[in-house]
Structure 1
């Protein structure tokens, strides 16, 4: 049996703490950037939503391509040598992420940032429902309680506003479905993002060409250097948070990263309410409170189970 000196043990602990600190920095920065997205897309409010989405797709593909090339991970085999089934999965996930991006940009452009944030609050609960339906994952009683509270929260929103929050529901379902589809693909996050955006790029380029030929003109050309720069950088602001998120998952427990994810919709909610000044009634607050309570129960149960499983593994 090896025995470590106090100095070595302290050094080992310091190294572990340093790695955890790096992980927290990566995760919090990623979530903060995602949470600040409404401000970025608001700056592009004068540009058509589909045009913004097209530019986001093209420049994200190019930036991700350059990153993987710089990391010496870019090969033809990486991109092309994949089973037909995986190509179908990545095509479906590309459509889902395009829908998610487009819905969110449209929501911000049309003053629905608060409702969009609700979509991301709901997405973990939609994900566990998909896990139950698609992957036959077992749900515990507290999971069902969390889902029930979220459903009641949505119902309260419907009664309060007088309309179904379709935008928030579609954002949550598209994001959760995207995550479920990616479980069937072997590609890592960055490679998957590259393939997905490359799949979408021909349609994005075709739309921009049509926009120019049809006489509308591309904002990229005619809107001035400020908007042109923002459209160019849309790919960078899409890929960088994902890179930080992936780095954080290598240094922190997934339960911790999952908990930190709520920074994202919380910031989106606060931006929508206090920066954009979107209306928010007492009934909407009650609906959100029920969703937040459901998330609190879900997160507490997930953390409890992970802690218990960790204790069992140490005993074994």
Structure 2
């Protein structure tokens, strides 16, 4: 994704995120209508409080997408990757605060080490890594709301897109009519096609994730989620040649150590839980 957004850096970031939201809403809505007909929207909103929770989660994910695209094209890919490294640990803290979940000593230790990493980066560079923290916070809050809403992943994404679609289209129309857009005659055919494809690049991985998460153990899903920020970090350093000096390396090292401790502890907990689980006898042949 950083490589894709970088190819589109000639387009203003706001225009990119507006098109990303609009076209992903069209693609997800068309998929749900093809799969379930008109009943998907009623089903998604059938539970109490779902309507406003999905409206809020839609605003959060739109903010997250917009900040990420701006950060990539402003030369902050490395700091953006830091946000998604921090995100799993922030999810843990939100679980403690809002869901009354309990952490073991090792988990608290990993959170403390990551906090030291953020503090180090703040101390050495004189300001909070606000891009990383805003990306992590918005995505963690999005995940919390989606967990509380208890709606199917794709249905929820469709409702979020439906909420955002009309305001986003209105902004796009205003931009085109006031000389601030360029989808039809300013960006060129290739760039306009890329804006449409951005919606597919947003929607299809989320649809795939919704199906995969039901078929792959959560312990593996958790480890796989570190692959994306690692790739983003490598792209930022080795492709875009962003600064990564010793001070930044120390701060990142704290957070990577915290994630390693957290991941290993989670894997050991899952193994112990599986060992304690009763064996289910095989069904007798008939």
Aligned partner of 2:202 in structure 1 is 238
Structure 1: gaps (5+ residues): 1-36
**Residue from 234, 237, 243 that aligns with 1:270:** 234
Aligned partner of 1:196 in structure 2 is 160
1:284 aligns with 2:228: no
Where does structure 1 differ by over 4 angstroms across 4 or more consecutive aligned residues?
Answer: none
Contact 1:208 1:218 in 2 (8 A): no
Summarize deviations over 1:80-109 as a string: whole Å, max 9, x none: 753451001101110110111111101001
1:153 aligns with 2:117: yes
Counterparts of 1:2-151 in structure 2 under 5 Å? 37-72=1-36, 74-75=38-39, 77-78=41-42, 81-83=45-47, 85-151=49-115
Shift in CA distance, 159/257, structure 1 to aligned 2, threshold 3 Å: same
Give the SS at the match of 2:214: helix
Structure 2: gaps (5+ residues): 281-286
Contact 1:220 1:227 in 2 (8 A): no
Deviates more, 1:219-228 or 1:92-101: 219-228
* Superposition deviation, residue 220 in structure 1: 5.1
* Superposition deviation, residue 219 in structure 1: 4.0
How many residue pairs get matched? 280
Q: Distance in 1 between matches of 2:172 and 2:241?
A: 32
Contact 2:32 2:40 in 1 (8 A): no
Aligned partner of 1:259 in structure 2 is 223
Q: TM-score, normalised by structure 2?
A: 0.93
Aligned partner of 1:248 in structure 2 is 212
Deviates more, 1:199-208 or 1:159-168: 159-168
**Residue from 152, 167, 178 that aligns with 2:142:** 178
Q: TM-score, normalised by structure 1?
A: 0.84
Q: Distance in 1 between matches of 2:122 and 2:134?
A: 15
Give the SS at the match of 2:181: coil
Q: Distance in 2 between matches of 1:113 and 1:251?
A: 31
Contact 1:123 1:172 in 2 (8 A): yes
**Residue from 185, 188, 191 that aligns with 1:224:** 188
Contact 1:142 1:298 in 2 (8 A): yes
Deviates more, 1:233-242 or 1:246-255: 246-255
Aligned partner of 1:6 in structure 2 is none
Deviates more, 1:296-305 or 1:125-134: 296-305
